[in-house]
Each structure stands twice: as structure tokens, then as C-alpha cells.
Amino acid sequence: MTLNPFGRRSIVRAGPGDRVYHLWTESAAIEGTSLRGDPVERVVITYQAPPVTGSDVEAYVQRFGEDYREILSANAPPRWPAVRSFLVDDQGRLWVGLSAPAGQPAEWVVLTGDGEYVGSVLLPGDTEIHSVRGERIAAVATDEEDVPRIVLYRIALPSAGGP
């Protein structure tokens, strides 16, 4: 099954303790709830996603085949989803991967579980973070042939309690 490359999706991640986080990729808004469903916090990152261009559509036609041209062209929204991915690290920090124009680095915004800004990390646009543990980011990068490779980065961030 081929997913719509411009589609929006729901992401749910378990946090520390009894927290559960939900994000809809259309916006950069994170809803935190307890396991009982009680609202804990709402975090909103102000961000306008890049526009979907004709070049973006053409790149996916090249990737999926000419049979997809009509459906991709007819269903391309004006903008990409605001968020490409979202995860919670081992210290309860929220990592929000913002969409970026093709070929550009992507920003990953790092927040405390309560929504306070910790910092940002810029990674190549073809790199997707899968896990953050201690001082390591484990990610998968894909090349122009869509061949994945595991990439590890070392990071220096303040602890979740402050600088």
C-alpha cells in the first residue's frame, strides 16, 4: 500500500508516568492527557508548513510511476502537513519534526513535557528520528534511491529540569 505523501495523520505517543500525547500533523499542536483521559496540557508551536509545489508532485510521480500523476496532482493540498514526525524521548522531552521544503534541512523542536522550549536540532531533510536516548539520536536517512541507512548523532541538551 502506498500512502498519500501529502496526507495528514494522527500520532499518539506514550510519555513518562501516566501521560499520553496526541498530535495531528496538520498543525503543530500537542494534546497531553492522563491515562484516564483528563487533559494535562496543550502545546502549540506556531509554524506555517511549506507549500506543495509542482516540483514536489513531479518528484512523487517519478518515485511512484506515471500512473499516479493524475491522483497526486488532483489531491495535492496547498501546503505540506506542519509536522512530519513526533516522539517522546527517555527524559520525557517532546521532539517535533517540522516539515521542510524538499532538499532543505528539517527542524526538530525540542520541548519539555510541559511545553517549554528546550532547543532545536537541524537535520538533513531525508533523515527521520526514531529514538532519542541519553545523548544519542537514532535516525534513519534515505538516499536518492530510497535506500535507508541508520545514522547516530550525539547531542548536548539541558536536562528536562532546566539548564
pLDDT for residue 158 is more than 80: no
- H or E segment and range at residue 86: strand 83-88
Torsion of CA 33, 96, 132, 116, to 10 degrees: -70
pLDDT value, residue 64: 85
- Please provide the average confidence, as pLDDT, over all residues in the chain: 91
14 neighbors 20 (Cβ within 8 angstroms): yes
Percent of the chain whose predicted confidence (pLDDT) is above 90? 74
Environment class of residue 50 by beta-carbon count within 10 Å: exposed (0-12), middle (13-18) or buried (19+)? middle
For 51-90, the pLDDT digits (tens) are: 999 999 998 898 888 988 888 888 899 999 999 999 999 9
Task: Provide the pLDDT confidence category of residue 146 given band limits of 50, 70 and 90.
Answer: confident
